[in-house]
Every structure is written in C-alpha cells, then in structure tokens.
Amino acid sequence: MAFHNEIGQRGEKIAAEYILKKGYTILTKNWRFGKDEIDIIAIDKNDLVIIEVKTRSNNYYGDPQEAVDNKKEIFIIRAAEAYVDIENIDFNIRYDIIAIILNETKTIINHIEDAFYPSIS
C-alpha cells in the first residue's frame, strides 16, 4: 500500500475516534455514490455531519484542509445529497473537515465545523 493511502487510513481512524469521544454517532464510513465518497457520516445532536478527513505528514506544502477545494466540495455535497435521498433523512446538514498532521513525533487534529456550505445557484 502506498504511503499516502496508509496515512490517509490512519487519519480516518484517528478522526473517527476523535468524534466518538466528542459524543458523535457514526452512521457510516467511506460511503460511496458513483465516484464520489464521504469519509465519515455522523450525527451530532440534531445535525447530520458530513466529514472530510485530510491527513498529511507535515504542512510543508500547506495545511491539510487546503486540499478541499471547490471541486472537492462539489463532489462531497453531491454525495451527501444522494445519501440523504437514499436514506430518507431529515436533518440539518453540516459539512466539516478534520485536518490531521500525523508523523513520528506528533499528531495534530484541527476540526473545522461548518467548513463549507452548498452554494445556491
């Protein structure tokens, strides 16, 4: 397995443990709709939380959350809308990013709630 895949999987596990400690309920992980994927779908109080996890070994080329650009947001939103339709869910939807820097010496977790919103067009 490539290093970036391995660190990504480790980051998703850390993110899942982190939100469970915060009292979230995880509904599913790595949910796919066509080519689109949602890393974690969870419930926090009255919100359905769509979580994108970005993990890097350092921030030399920028913080992990910077990798979630407008194109990635569109893919996540499209998958979330499909999930809500398929599962017939009636919750407020929140889009979070959990950015993780993970290396031999440290683990830094940055949970960004309401990281982005679907645009109205």
pLDDT given at position 25: 98
> In which band, very low, low, confident or very high, does the pLDDT at 3 lie, cut at 50, 70 and 90?
low
Q: Is the pLDDT of residue 108 over 70?
A: yes
CATH number of the domain residue 20 falls in: 3.40.1350.10
Contacts within 8 Å (CB) and 24+ apart, 60-69 = 63/99, 63/110, 64/99, 64/100, 64/101, 64/110, 65/97, 65/99, 65/110, 65/112, 65/115, 68/97, 68/115, 68/116
80 belongs to a structural domain: yes
Domains of the chain: total: 1
Q: Which domain range does residue 24 map to?
A: 3-116
121 belongs to a structural domain: no
14 belongs to a structural domain: yes
Q: In this predicted model, what pLDDT tens digit does every residue of 48-103 receive, in sequence order?
A: 999 999 999 988 889 999 999 999 999 999 999 999 999 999 899 999 999 999 98
Q: Is the pLDDT of residue 106 over 80?
A: yes
Q: Is the pLDDT of residue 1 over 70?
A: no
Q: Is the pTM of this model over 0.85?
A: yes
42 belongs to a structural domain: yes
> In which band, very low, low, confident or very high, does the pLDDT at 4 lie, cut at 50, 70 and 90?
low
